[in-house]
Amino acid sequence: MTDDFDDLKAALKAAPAPDADAKARAMALAMKNFDALQGSPQGFGDPARSSEDRPIEAAPLNGVRRMLKFLTSRPALAATTSVAALVIGVAVILPIADLRIGQPVVTTTEKPKPEAPAETANEDQDLRTEVPADPSNVVEKKVEEVASTDDQPLVAPEPVTDAEAAEVTDALEAAPPAVAGGEAVIADLEIDGTFVGGLDEGAVVRERAAVESEAPGLMLALPAPASAPLVELAQPQLPENTEEYANEPVNPVKVTAEEPVSTFSIDVDTASWAVVRSTLNMAMLPSPDQIRIEEMINYFPYAYKTPTEEEAFSSSISVMQTPWNPGTRLVTIGIQGALPDIADRPALNLVFLIDTSGSMEDANKLGLLKQSLTLMLAELRPEDEISVVTYAGSAGLVLPATRAADRTTILQALDNLAAGGSTAGAEGLELAYRVAEGMKSEGEVTRILLATDGDFNVGVSDPDGLESYVAKKRETGTYLSVLGFGRGNLDDAVMQSLAQNGNGTAAYIDTLSEARKVLVDQLTGALFPIADDVKIQVEWNPATVAEYRLIGYETRALKREDFNNDEVDAGEIGAGTQVTAIYEVTAPGSDALLNDPLRYGTATTETTNGELGFLRLRWKAPGADTSTLIETPITGTEEATTETRFAAAIAGFGQLLQGSVYTGDWGWDQAIELALANRGDDPFGYRIETVNLMRLAQSLSAN
Amino acid sequence: MLMDTPDEMLATAAAQGDRAAFATLVGRHYDRIHGLAWRLTGVKAEAEDLAQDICAALPSKLQNWRGEARFTTWLYRVVVNAAHDLRRRQQTRARASQGWGDWELARQDEIAVQAEAQDWLAQAMTELSPELRDTVALVLGEEMTQAEAGLVLGLSEGTIAWRMSDVKKRLRAKAREDAK
């Protein structure tokens, strides 16, 4: 097998010798551009060397002197600054230029084309081979014109340059009639409009306009399509951000008469909240696709009604006026999982599946992970068992099943974890499931905790296969939870789908206190499921609710018929955890209605007694195949509590971050006020932390 | 005597306008640029064009030379970025005109007419994703260490290591396919 590897190497080494002519051409071009850049008029000949030009051996000192001279020369400084500005400008407009290459966009010409000497040649030939270096040429020359006080003769503009200019002029002329002959910058802007669609357009145009205002006269030389990619070379290389997020478009307002039933799966993930927090703490506003409002709401513990002895969980409903819209009401559905007596909890088998690929080498990743697991270890009971599987070059079982009582062995194994090497990812997961299988015994809970920075590598060749593998393994009763660490290439999308398919939660851990929350304070909830496949279905009463909107849960939507289908997977509730879902509903005849009533609408039935809707909940006991149904009417008289008002504040916060259209004039101040007023007990300080984050987001969004 | 001057010194001198230094530098590295360009594109004509584009842009690129890395590392980065741009341009063009599928077919045809000895390589390379191709070109083709390749591509060494193991895995799979 390594034969192939060697073959590939040998074949690659056998690069064809470069063509001598091609080499000569390329070198000539390089020298020409070099001369152009230096503003040297000598052309191809050996330049006359000035007396202060010492041979190259003295380069370091020489360089310093030159640099000093260069720095003190004001025009030169001005020139370099403009070059920098130009490079930025050109880089920004690239997408436009690229599009133009393949697609002659302008087809209808209203005015006769301006005469340009090289125009036809330019059209007929492959642009790339003709003018590879032009932009730098043109740009540099123009800069010289603008900024140089040197009285050196400038290199005369070449025909190609004219052609470029002519082509742009051409495009300007051919732009929509409204702008033909208009002011240059505006015309240019319109041209952009014909090439690009989308949100970035404005920004692109602004950037460009700024460059143009700094360096008038340069505009014509800029959009040279063929040469644009070369200029892009000069673009600073930003560190690659390869994060991927899972999200769906925001739930729209639904008309009850058309779609009275809303169905979704509960979601106990909290990853989105932690990502939002860490993004804000980096002084950046999170992007809309990082925000899943239900995960933000469900991050917080709420004091809902505790379930009775025989219930696995209780549901409570509250109705209140919407903070951001006086014309609508919020219906909050809170579910509280039962907290079985901690002393009675079944023994726990934990398999830590730890990503030790090179990218995990970071105090925020592997370091934090080790600390987190150490914290958690203290909460385990002696009879619980732990094993550690790593996936990386050193893939394999690092720690065979060990009782939690044997702390030293476990701590040592954790300590010895080191990042580095290549990854044999899929095998790691398979091994983890095998190990978990071996640890299992009657009445125990078995869970794999996958810790990764998202450089997932597990089954990277076939992500779908991985999901179905996890889904299949779910049947064996082993749960899979995903802990995300670090930022930069967090693959939120894969984390989400793995946790959802593997009957687990996805949490993102950015600080030790977050690790504490996820692994210690909520140890029981995160690790012991009390209800599987919990689905919520609400049927709204068209007589009392004309429109409704589910806030969040976009990635958790279920089909109406899936509610009764026990084969369809849904979210789990852990011991003692809470899940909250919020609907915004609008009464018929309200000013806040977004849709007009139908003239020939269906006749409303008057059978209900003013109920807003009907809540149905389905859940399975862990490991059970058939579901249980719980039904509760929503009367509209249920009172709001501190808890549901705080949840509403978080929902508002999420929508503000998303730039939602539904919040109207309601802004940061109101969100902060609402959250602050409903802090409640807040024993862990999560809620006050939120208020501070809201203030941070407020200042960030003011910029 | 310029022939013995290290790349980094030549680059610094060239950046400051030393014509002879620049000529020496380009002469010394053209083959390298061309070689990597070929390994990245797999087509001789494209490699030539790309090498020429890079040479043409080198004077202005050198203005950004800060001497923070080895010159060859810096140069490899320039070449890889230029190849990425070329790829992007090709994609844009292909999508705009006839769509991806046709472009891919045309490219496959082009590959097919290449020398027979290159057939297997071309096949193996086209089956790899562009990211893996870059990595292979640097690690196997240019015989860089994984750390160096990481520097050029702006990735961690671990990522390069992982990519190489992925390549191995794919080659194994391909060998199995071929054997069928």
Measure Cα distances from A564 to A278, A474, A477, A528, A559 in Å.
39, 20, 22, 25, 10
Under 8 Å CB pairs connecting chains A and B tally to: 251
Residues of B in contact with A423 (CB under 8 A): 158, 161-162, 165
pLDDT over 70 at A414, yes or no: yes
pLDDT of the residue at A95? 43
pLDDT of the residue at B155? 80
Q: What is the pLDDT of residues A615-659, one digit of tens each?
A: 999 988 887 888 889 899 998 888 889 999 999 999 999 999 988
Q: How confident is the model at residue B158 (pLDDT cuts 50, 70, 90)?
A: confident
Q: How confident is the model at residue A332 (pLDDT cuts 50, 70, 90)?
A: very high
Distance CA A141, CA A368 (A): 54
Domain for residue B37, yes or no? yes
Query: How near does any CA of chain B get to the CA of A189, in Å?
Result: 22
Query: How near does any CA of chain A get to the CA of B135, in Å?
Result: 12
pLDDT over 90 at B49, yes or no: no
User: A138 and A272: one domain?
Assistant: no
Facing residue for A357 by CB, picked from B51, B81, B158: B158
Domain count along chain B:
2
User: Containing domain of residue B71, as a range?
Assistant: 1-89
Complex ipTM > 0.90:
no
Q: Which of A463, A496, A524 is the last residue of a domain?
A: A524
User: A334 and A200: one domain?
Assistant: no
Mean pLDDT of A553-580: 86
Range among A388-402, A445-459, A529-543, B117-131 with highest mean pLDDT value: A529-543
Query: How near does any CA of chain B get to the CA of A357, in Å?
Result: 6
Q: Quick check: helix, strand or coil at residue A500?
A: helix
Find the range with the poorest average confidence among A177-186, A284-293, A343-352, A420-429: A177-186
Using CA of residue B36, residue B41, residue B44, residue B49, what is the dihedral sign?
negative
User: A28 and A65: one domain?
Assistant: no
Question: Quick check: A27 and B55 CB within 8 A?
Answer: yes
pLDDT over 80 at A351, yes or no: yes
User: Containing domain of residue A292, as a range?
Assistant: 254-340+530-596+605-702
Question: Quick check: B140 and A393 CB within 8 A?
Answer: no
Domain for residue A18, yes or no? yes
Question: Quick check: A27 and B121 CB within 8 A?
Answer: no
What is the Rg, in whole angstroms, of the alpha carbon atoms belonging to chain A?
Answer: 32
Measure Cα distances from A100 to A97, A134, A626, B127, B166 in Å.
5, 17, 59, 30, 37
- Is A62 in CB contact (< 8 Å) with chain B? yes
Domain for residue B106, yes or no? no
Using CA of residue A585, residue A589, residue A593, residue A596, what is the dihedral sign?
positive
Which has more confidence, A543 or B93? Answer: A543
Task: Give the nearest chain A residue to B150 (CA atoms).
Answer: A358
Question: Quick check: B57 and A7 CB within 8 A?
Answer: no
pLDDT of the residue at B96? 43
Domain for residue B116, yes or no? no
Query: How near does any CA of chain A get to the CA of B180, in Å?
Result: 15
Domain for residue A238, yes or no? no
Domain for residue A249, yes or no? no
Residues of B in contact with A136 (CB under 8 A): 56-57, 59-60
Domain for residue A242, yes or no? no
Facing residue for A34 by CB, picked from B27, B30, B59: B59
User: A284 and A368: one domain?
Assistant: no
Q: What is the pLDDT of residues A84-126, one digit of tens each?
A: 444 444 444 444 444 444 344 444 434 444 444 444 444 444 4
Residues of A in contact with B9 (CB under 8 A): 56, 59-60
pLDDT of the residue at A57? 41
Report the candidate in A217, A192, A178 with the shortest Cα–Cα distance to residue A86: A217
CATH classification at residue B151? 1.10.10
Domain for residue A689, yes or no? yes
Query: How near does any CA of chain A get to the CA of B27, in Å?
Result: 7
pTM: 0.49
Maximum CA pair distance of chain A? Answer: 103
pLDDT over 50 at A237, yes or no: no
User: B72 and B14: one domain?
Assistant: yes
Domain for residue A156, yes or no? yes
Which has more confidence, A385 or A365? Answer: A385
pLDDT over 70 at A462, yes or no: no
Q: Which of B89, B110, B135 is the last residue of a domain?
A: B89
Mean pLDDT of A508-531: 77
pLDDT of the residue at A116? 43
Determine phi and psi for A255, rounding to 5 degrees.
Answer: -90, 125
Find the range with the poorest average confidence among A228-237, A487-496, B18-27, B130-139: A228-237
Q: Quick check: helix, strand or coil at residue A389?
A: strand
The percentage of chain A sitting over the pLDDT mark of 70, rounded to a whole number, equals 62
Question: Quick check: B63 and A423 CB within 8 A?
Answer: no
User: A334 and A351: one domain?
Assistant: no
Facing residue for A422 by CB, picked from B64, B137, B161: B161
pLDDT over 70 at A425, yes or no: no
User: A311 and A428: one domain?
Assistant: no
The percentage of chain B sitting over the pLDDT mark of 90, rounded to a whole number, equals 0
Q: How confident is the model at residue B105 (pLDDT cuts 50, 70, 90)?
A: low
Residue B43 tokens, joined:
């087509």
- The whole-chain average pLDDT of chain B stands at 77
Domain for residue B58, yes or no? yes
Determine phi and psi for A333, rounding to 5 degrees.
Answer: -110, 115
pLDDT of the residue at A54? 41
Q: What is the pLDDT of residues A526-554, one digit of tens each?
A: 677 788 888 999 999 888 898 999 999 98
Question: Quick check: B159 and A9 CB within 8 A?
Answer: no
- Is A4 in CB contact (< 8 Å) with chain B? yes
Find the range with the poorest average confidence among A213-217, A386-390, A615-619: A213-217
> Please, is A244 exposed, middle or buried when counting C-beta atoms within 10 Å of its C-beta (0-12, 13-18, 19+)?
middle
User: A371 and A516: one domain?
Assistant: yes
Burial A479-517 (b: 16+ CB within 10 A, else e): bbbbbbbbbbbbbbbbbbbbbbbbbbbbbbbbeeebbbb
- The whole-chain average pLDDT of chain A stands at 70
CATH classification at residue B59? 1.10.1740.10
Query: How near does any CA of chain A get to the CA of B53, in Å?
Result: 6
Q: Which of B74, B89, B104 is the last residue of a domain?
A: B89
In A372-401, the residues whose Cβ lies within 8 Å of chain B are 392-393
Q: How confident is the model at residue A664 (pLDDT cuts 50, 70, 90)?
A: confident
pLDDT of the residue at A653? 94
Domain for residue B113, yes or no? no
Question: Quick check: A461 and B170 CB within 8 A?
Answer: yes
Q: What is the pLDDT of residues A296-323, one digit of tens each?
A: 998 888 988 888 878 888 889 999 999 9
